[in-house]
Amino acid sequence: MATLAAVAGRRIANVTRTPVHSQASSLILRRGLAGAADHHGPPKVNCWQEPMNPAKWKEEHFVIVSLTGWGLLFYGGYKFLTRGKGKKEENAVETAQK
């Protein structure tokens, strides 16, 4: 809370010291080079355009493919480890009914 008051006090002091024509420009926040057009590195592609090169994929495609792969791995492991338990119970019920 004290830091917010200090920041507000500095802004007020800066506005009162500056000439009138530059007061409005000092209150406008500028983004500088934070635009989306400033690329760093090679452009990213869709995962189906370069399926064997995950380093070139877009981040959101990489996340979706990775989570899907992990989900399939866990589900496959679950089904592999519990593959015979349901059938034994069904056979026991069928033999009890006969």
For residue 45, which phi and psi values (nearest 5 degrees)? -120, 170
pLDDT in tens, 11-53: 777 766 655 555 566 667 666 655 555 567 888 999 889 999 9
Q: Is the pLDDT of residue 3 over 90?
A: no
- The amino acid present at 98, given as its one-letter code, is K
